[in-house]
Amino acid sequence: MTIRQVLALLGAVPSLAIAQAIPSPSTNFPTRVMQAETVFQLGSPGLQGPGAAILGAAMDGAQYVLVGEAHFSQEIPRFTVSLCHQMARKGLRAMAVETGPEAVRLLNNDLRRSDRTSRLSAFMRAHPDAMAFQNNIAESAMSADCAREAGDAFQLWGLDQEFFGASGFMLEEMAAAAQGPAAKEAIARLRELDRRSTAGAVSSGSPGKLLIYTIGDAQMSAARTAIVKDGGSRALQLFDELAETRAIFLASSSGIGDPNGRRARLIKRTMSSYLRGVPANSRVLVKFGDVHVAKGFNSLRQRDLGNFVTEYAEGRGASSLHILVMGKEGSLGAYNGFGRQVKVEPYTPIADGDYPWFASALAGRPRQAASSDWILLDLRQLRDIPAQEIPAAWRQLVLRYDLVAIAPKLTPAFLAGVEGVASAVAQ
């Protein structure tokens, strides 16, 4: 047999096997979607209903469970606590969140304290916008509830860059860690610049007034040189984290560079460092915005955290489960200016061009669904449909996620330590 004949045979046999393995769907696509949907109810802390059994079995078979969410709701954090409850049965070591590691280090110190909320509020009043997402009341309660469910070994893992208001507390940490006079003097100059810039951001409500946007490259370079000279390893680590935060936000605001790619690479590096510090069989829950937890290339054309976890798990003989969590309708909190309470904005995914499949998913709503039920869509049941028989938006969806959980309604979450919750709720 010639080389060409061998290659032809190797190419033909898998194709035949694949063709035989994919059954022809016996019903049309909308019917298949309806058959893949069921319902569940959000209990405290567990889930009930037929969809709960599907979710539970899927989570039990996965070492890593990823939740891709719409930010600033009250319902998705409560749903996440139910996942913690399920995962804790077989051990839950950590929850990775869309917050910086330095902010999360502070949160872990207070995670099990009875005065956790008041301490978080005091910190946020002293350092407005010093962290993302974990400074909202619903997220903070979720983290504490998951810690209670999972036990003493459980910790939050912060994977993201620090938030743009973090410079104040990070410089405080640098000043405490700095060892020599050159570093101390340089950090003191940065702290004075930070005080003035933060005051401008508070009065204007504009984060663009903050240190990370207003300090020049030459000033940053001079400060780093002094810290390298005699600051010590911890001070230098904090400075480099602040510099990376600055680089990502500057690239994002200017449109120059690759902020999404740089951020994704940072998130994956940080996740790797956490994973190296725990036993190989540790179970981890990940909660990020929905774009980040997708498998393959996401809508930002990045191979992000979700793809990294998938490959990491498979390379170790484990598996991951990717859950997209949304609401049918409602409202969410949205950024409203530096140091200010969130504003409430309508949440209408059915009209959002980022979710072109959503209307047809709701059209297949199970007949037994009550208005208060959550819908669970098992995308794994749709992967045997030939590519030509599934709409393009659905093809992307079923390859990026495993399950979709849809709440009947989302309501907004609010920031700790910021005035205006009562008026915001009244809106």
| Together in a domain, 347 and 409 | yes
| Together in a domain, 379 and 266 | yes
| Together in a domain, 174 and 218 | yes
| Together in a domain, 246 and 308 | no
Q: What pLDDT score was predicted for residue 27?
A: 66
| Together in a domain, 246 and 285 | no
For residue 13, being part of any structural domain is answered with: no
| Together in a domain, 129 and 182 | no
Q: What pLDDT score was predicted for residue 20?
A: 41
Q: Is the dihedral of CA 258, 404, 77, 339 positive or negative?
A: positive
Q: Three-class SS of residue 261?
A: helix
For residue 17, being part of any structural domain is answered with: no
Tell which of 258, 277, 297 closes a domain.
258
For residue 5, being part of any structural domain is answered with: no
Helix or strand run (H / E) with residue 139: helix 137-150
In 119-258, at which residue ranges do the beta strands (DSSP E only) sit? Answer: 155-158
For residue 2, being part of any structural domain is answered with: no
Total structural domains within the chain: 2
Domain around 283: 26-161+260-426
For residue 382, being part of any structural domain is answered with: yes
Would you give per-residue pLDDT tens digits along the chain (427 residues)?
A: 444 443 344 344 343 333 444 444 446 899 999 999 999 999 887 899 999 999 999 999 999 999 999 999 999 999 999 999 999 999 999 999 999 999 999 999 999 999 999 999 999 999 999 999 999 999 999 999 999 999 999 999 999 999 999 999 999 999 999 999 999 999 999 999 999 999 999 999 999 999 999 999 999 999 999 999 999 999 999 999 999 999 999 999 999 989 999 999 999 999 999 999 999 999 999 999 999 999 999 999 999 999 999 999 999 999 999 999 999 999 999 999 999 999 999 999 999 999 999 999 998 888 778 889 999 999 999 999 998 999 999 999 999 999 999 999 999 999 999 987 544 443 3
How far, in Å, CA of 247 to CA of 259, rounded?
8
How far, in Å, CA of 132 to CA of 124, rounded?
11
List residues bridging with 400 in a β-sheet: none
Residue with tokens 């939740």: 67
For residue 113, being part of any structural domain is answered with: yes
Q: What pLDDT score was predicted for residue 421?
A: 54
Tell which of 219, 234, 258 closes a domain.
258
Angle between helix axes 137-150 and 116-126 (nearest 10 degrees) is 140
For residue 321, being part of any structural domain is answered with: yes
The length of the chain is 427
Nearest to residue 313, comparing CAs of 61, 52, 98, 56?
Answer: 61
How far, in Å, CA of 224 to CA of 229, rounded?
8
For residue 9, being part of any structural domain is answered with: no
| Together in a domain, 234 and 363 | no
Tell which of 231, 258, 285 closes a domain.
258
Q: How many CB atoms lie within 10 A of CB 357?
A: 18
Q: What pLDDT score was predicted for residue 184?
A: 98
| Together in a domain, 237 and 115 | no
| Together in a domain, 225 and 366 | no
**What's this model's pTM, rounded to 2 decimal places?**
0.91
| Together in a domain, 175 and 321 | no
Cβ contacts of 181 within 8 Å, gap of 6 or more: 230
| Together in a domain, 175 and 152 | no
Residue with tokens 């997209």: 324
| Together in a domain, 226 and 214 | yes
